[in-house]
Amino acid sequence: MLKYLKKYRVQCVCAPLFKMFEALLDLFVPLVVASIIDRGIAAGSAGHVWRMSGLLVALGLAGLAAAVTAQYFAAKAATGFAADARHALFEKLTSLAFSDVDRLGTSAMITRMTSDVNQAQTGVNMALRLLLRSPFVVLGAMIMAFTIDVRCALIFALVIAALSAVVAVIMAANIPMMQGVQRQLEAVLGATRESLAGARVIRAFRREDAEYQAFRAKNRELAARQLRAGRVSALLNPVTYVLINLAVILLVRRGAIRVDSGALTTGQVVALYNYMSQILVELLKFAALIITINKGWASWKRVEDVLALTPSMTALDEMGGAPSEGAPAVAFEHVTLTYPGAGSPALEDIDFAASRGQTVGIIGGTGSGKSSLARLIPRFYDATSGAVRVNGVDVRDWPKDALRAKIGVVPQKASLFKGTIRDNLRWGDPDAADADLIEAAAIAQASDVLAAKGGLDSEIAQNGGNLSGGQRQRLTIARALARRPEILILDDSASALDMATDARLRGAIAGLSYRPTVFIISQRAASIMRADLILVLDDGRVVGKGTHAELLKTCPIYKEIYDSQFGGEAPLPDAAATGNHPVRAIDSSANRLCGDPEKDNGEVSA
């Protein structure tokens, strides 16, 4: 926490100082009043009364100036601190490895950045304003008490020690409870997000009531936890009150005895009592402050948890090896990947190489590891064993930005961001000219999206909400192409496109002048069958490697996939372009679909 306050050390020192100055001025007031009584009234001087009253107003003015300054410094430090903390959090979150992001969860990250930072901000603000003031007044009053009567003042010392102990115990009990409250708040936030994101499905399945009930249960638990935590923190105030007044009773008792024996005067007892009252007032404020600071601290702990995370993957700042001209663009050397917490590997012993400008098709069943394979190239995850090399250099020896700048990734989930289409496409290349963006859009078959929406300047809503799935997908492809990548990865990113658009897209990519190495991951044999190298994945292993023609002969799984889409007597890819065969192919596939579904099912699983 100090790290983030350090930047505001001037404010952090000045705010309490000015506060203490104001408190000091307060301590003068009784002296001035005493002067009014002793030298004004007793001496019958109206002039002195006027002067002293003026002094009181002046003290008030000086106090006002000091307090305003203190408030400004405190507000400046607290809001600056919160802004810096949010910045640090955002930066930290963007630097985390994908596996860390998976583990943290979106809701947790959002609450840390919003609600938790807000609580910490309030805590810092109050602490700067009041944390030092109260102990200062308490200490001052105690010192005054000692100057009056040591034996009575010992009661003060005793009571302050007892209070510290009580406050410490209550705080220790309260902080974990507060953390529990924040955790539950996270659950409530998660449920709220879900109700919004899943609105269509929830309504389609008429689950509004059930979802509401589930939210209600979480929300009630939150209120219950808040109540439990509140019950404990509500003890602070009364306990303080009891202890202080116990001290007052003891003080009056002892004072009475000591006055009776002539060791003290009545006036001194009154003075002691006044100091005790002053302490009480300050401590009550202090107790309220402690609750706020407690809350802030609990929240800050949770913020710190995130800030303290070390990304489970670190990247070098400079190249750890020299890229070689002759090396394959991408090479996998006996790569195995096991996700953290997963029982079995997602990829096992993957070994292949793709030369520059080649197109690699990756095909396989759902969950066969196609996407996992693609994620290793830009080093979204690290291989558990083996190595992934780009231009002959292990991806772990590449600076992260240099590696990723070479690669255009189009993920399965087409996500765009609030802003203009231009803003979104420039993600690929911040310096791209409009002409480049329009060209990238044309290759991505997204020209009509631009036309329909009104050009590069048209606004995209949050998460691309005002675009259809297919429009989003084509814009994400254009985004990847805008950077003219050396390596282009299309992770099943044509799934929302119709066959015709998909085919035109592949044709356009094949004709790119800068000849990127292209990885196409698809469920459709048609999308990959013209690739230079096809990898067939099954359950995380490569079960077929080669060209379309080779695989049809050597890889039963590939043949099965192909047949399921084209029917038994399939044309070779070269023949496919003639336009006659495909109709036949579709017909035969359709015939199969029209046939007995039971039989169909049996065939496939056989």
Partner 1 sequence: MRTSTGQIGTIKKVLRHIGRYKWLVLASLILSAATVLLTLAVPILVGRAIDGIIGAGQVRFDVVWPLLWRIGVCVALTALGTWVMNVVNNRVTFDVVRDLREEALSRIHRLPLSYIDAHPHGETVSRVIADADQFADGLLMGFTQLFSGALTIVFTLAFMLTQNALITLVVVCVTPLSLFVARFIATRTYAMFRAQSETRGEQTAFINEMIGNLKVVQAYGREAAETARFDGINERLRECSLRATFFSSLTNPCTRFVNAVVYALVALAGALAALAPGSAMTVGMLTAFLSYANQYTKPFNEISGVVTELQNAVACAARLFELIEAPVETPDAPDAAPLADVRGAVAFDHVYFSYVKDRRLIEDFNLSVEPGCRVAIVGPTGCGKTTLINLLMRFYDADAGAISVEGRDVRDIPRRSLREAYGMVLQETWLKNATIRENIAMGRPDAPEEEIIAAAKASHAHGFIRRLPNGYDTVVGEDGGQLSQGQKQLLCIARVMLCLPPILILDEATSSIDTRTELKIQSAFAKLMAGRTSFIVAHRLSTIREADVILVMREGRIVEQGDHDSLLQKGGFYAELYNSQWCSE
Residues of this chain, 497-526, that bind partner 1 according to CB under 8 A: 497-501, 503-504, 506-507, 523-526
Residues 364-383 that bind partner 1 (CB under 8 A): 364-368, 371, 378, 380
End-to-end CA gap in the chain: 63
Candidates 354, 340, 358, 360; CA nearest to 388 is 354
Nearer to partner 1, 332 or 381 (CB): 381
Using the rule CB under 8 A, give the single segment among 160-168, 242-250, 301-309, 432-440 that binds partner 1. Answer: 242-250
Minimum Å distance from CB 304 to partner 1? 18
Minimum Å distance from CB 134 to partner 1? 15
Residues 6+ apart with CB under 8 A from 223: none
* 179 touches partner 1 (CB under 8 A): no
Any idea what DSSP says for residue 580?
S
Nearer to partner 1, 270 or 334 (CB): 270
Residues 311-330 that bind partner 1 (CB under 8 A): none
* 355 touches partner 1 (CB under 8 A): no
* 47 touches partner 1 (CB under 8 A): no
Nearer to partner 1, 1 or 333 (CB): 1
Residues 6+ apart with CB under 8 A from 149: 258, 263, 264, 268, 272
HSE-up of residue 92 (Cα within 13 Å, Cβ side): 20
Largest CA distance in the chain: 123
Structure tokens at 364: 């396989």
**Which residue carries 């903390």 as its tokens?**
85
Using the rule CB under 8 A, give the single segment among 112-120, 155-163, 318-326, 386-394 that binds partner 1. Answer: 112-120
* 465 touches partner 1 (CB under 8 A): yes
Nearer to partner 1, 121 or 517 (CB): 121
* 252 touches partner 1 (CB under 8 A): yes
Residues 6+ apart with CB under 8 A from 281: none
Candidates 334, 335, 365, 336; CA nearest to 539 is 365
Q: In what order do the strands lie in the sheet with 517-522?
A: 407-410, 487-491, 517-522, 359-364, 533-538, 541-546
Minimum Å distance from CB 403 to partner 1? 9
Minimum Å distance from CB 480 to partner 1? 8
Candidates 366, 385, 387, 411; CA nearest to 539 is 366
Residues 89-108 that bind partner 1 (CB under 8 A): 90-91, 93-96, 98, 101-102, 105-107
Minimum Å distance from CB 399 to partner 1? 10
* 310 touches partner 1 (CB under 8 A): no
| Number of Cβ atoms within 10 Å of the Cβ of 58 | 12
Residues 283-302 that bind partner 1 (CB under 8 A): none
DSSP sequence for 211-280: HHHHHHHHHHHHHHHHHHHHHHHHHHHHHHHHHHHHHHHHHHHHHHHHHHTTSS-HHHHHHHHHHHHHHH
Nearer to partner 1, 164 or 462 (CB): 462
Question: Is the backbone of residue 105 left (phi > 0), alpha (psi -120 to 50) or beta?
Answer: left
Size of the site for partner 1 (CB under 8 A): 200
Give counts: helices (H), strands (E), the chain.
Answer: 24, 12
Give the integer Cα–Cα distance in Å for 37 and 565: 104
Burial of 311 (0-12, 13-18, 19+ CB in 10 A): middle
Residues 6+ apart with CB under 8 A from 8: 76, 77, 80, 81
* 208 touches partner 1 (CB under 8 A): yes
Minimum Å distance from CB 219 to partner 1? 5
| Number of Cβ atoms within 10 Å of the Cβ of 240 | 22
Minimum Å distance from CB 477 to partner 1? 12
Give the integer Cα–Cα distance in Å for 572 and 599: 27
* 144 touches partner 1 (CB under 8 A): no
Nearer to partner 1, 226 or 355 (CB): 226
Task: Kindly list the distances between the CA atom of residue 480 and the CA atoms of 366, 424, 504, 520, 591, in Å, as whole numbers in the listed order.
Answer: 24, 10, 17, 13, 39
* 308 touches partner 1 (CB under 8 A): no
Binding mask 397-436 for partner 1 (x = CB under 8 A): ---xx--xx-x-x-xxx-x-xx--------xx-x------
Using the rule CB under 8 A, give the single segment among 163-171, 172-180, 210-218, 386-394 that binds partner 1. Answer: 210-218
Minimum Å distance from CB 472 to partner 1? 9
Minimum Å distance from CB 504 to partner 1? 5
Minimum Å distance from CB 168 to partner 1? 19
Tell me, what amino acid is at 442? Answer: A
Using the rule CB under 8 A, give the single segment among 144-152, 251-259, 326-334, 389-397 that binds partner 1. Answer: 251-259
Residues 215-234 that bind partner 1 (CB under 8 A): 215-216, 219-220, 222-223, 226-227, 230-231, 234
Burial of 245 (0-12, 13-18, 19+ CB in 10 A): middle
Binding mask 542-561 for partner 1 (x = CB under 8 A): ------------------xx
* 439 touches partner 1 (CB under 8 A): no
Using the rule CB under 8 A, give the single segment among 3-11, 388-396, 547-555, 588-596 that binds partner 1. Answer: 588-596
